[in-house]
């Protein structure tokens, strides 16, 4: 007797979860075995840490970045089968090229939109140029990337977007950056509803102070003072590592989170409470 579609779909999902449970017991391959994941902003920090772990768990990765040195370093750290692509999240032409490249590579099981850009300053320092620059990278970029890459997503795929604890901190010097990341939180909630009929999940990662090179734009002394202040507000009294942030990201990208969508997951040592 043929089962109703919704029953067959539910049984398939349960089999996936069971397979991963057995893998945890050492009986099967890793949770990303046979899966393809694209990570934008994947040449350093949590993005690169995530790519390395996906590979170690049997998956294939494509990553993007802009810095030539980091792109070259990533090529040394990841298997030759990985796609290491120079791509600017703020460039419409680059997004179109990325989508065409991924279409040739194969359908995606995971899409982590992690590329971002930050500046800090008083509200009075914001100019039309700085506003457009950050909005283009942090809001327009992922919005257009999802639009271009949606057709490449498998049924059952996972979309993850990196936001920031700055959205909830109310820090005096991060109003523009926090606004861009607040927009990310809002759009992902809408994506979760829009993509659900295709059995595609969408969630937001909310990192707090993570030990990465993300604040490289700040002078060394200012950066250290800023990070020391932020860490002093963290209940765990330390910054997180890129690997700790990537671990939560990979949970959301994997079938372990098969019933999680439209959610925000903070990796912040208890910095914000929302």
Question: What is the C-alpha separation between 196 and 183, in angstroms, rounded?
Answer: 20
HEC secondary structure over 14-72: HHHHHHHHHHHCCCCCCCCCCCEEEEECCCCHHHHHHHHHHHHCCCEEEEEECCHHHHH
117 is catalytic: no
Q: Give CA torsion, residues 46, 52, 55, 59, to 10 deg.
A: 10
Choice among 177, 259, 265, 274 that is catalytic: 177
φ/ψ of 109, rounded to 5, equals: -95, -20
If one counts every other C-beta atom within 10 angstroms of the C-beta of residue 247, the result is: 16
Instruction: List the catalytic residues.
Output: 177
């Amino acid at each position: 007797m043929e089962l109703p579609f919704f029953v067959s779909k539910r049984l398939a999902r349960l089999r996936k979860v069971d397979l991963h449970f057995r893998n945890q017991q050492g009986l099967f391959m890793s949770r990303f075995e046979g899966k393809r994941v694209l990570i934008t902003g994947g040449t350093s920090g949590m993005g690169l840490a995530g790519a390395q772990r996906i590979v170690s768990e049997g998956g294939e990765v494509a990553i993007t970045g802009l810095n030539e040195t980091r792109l070259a370093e990533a090529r040394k750290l990841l298997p030759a089968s990985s796609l290491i692509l120079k791509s600017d999240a703020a460039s419409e032409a680059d997004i179109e090229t990325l989508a065409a490249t991924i279409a040739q590579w194969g359908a995606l099981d995971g899409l982590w939109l992690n590329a971002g850009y930050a500046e800090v300053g008083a509200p009075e320092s914001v100019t039309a140029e700085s506003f457009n620059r950050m909005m283009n990278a942090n809001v327009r970029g992922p919005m257009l990337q999802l639009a271009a890459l949606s057709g490449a997503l498998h049924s059952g795929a996972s979309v993850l977007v990196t936001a920031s604890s700055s959205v909830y901190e109310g820090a005096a010097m991060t109003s523009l950056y926090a606004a861009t990341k607040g927009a990310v939180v809002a759009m992902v909630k809408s994506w979760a509803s829009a993509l659900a009929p295709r059995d595609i999940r969408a969630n937001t990662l909310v990192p707090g102070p993570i030990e990465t090179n993300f604040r490289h734009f700040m002078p060394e002394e200012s950066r250290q003072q800023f990070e020391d202040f932020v860490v002093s507000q963290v209940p765990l009294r330390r910054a997180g590592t890129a690997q700790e942030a990537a671990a939560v990201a990979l949970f959301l990208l994997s079938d372990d989170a098969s019933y999680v969508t439209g959610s925000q997951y903070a990796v912040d040592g208890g910095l914000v409470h929302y």
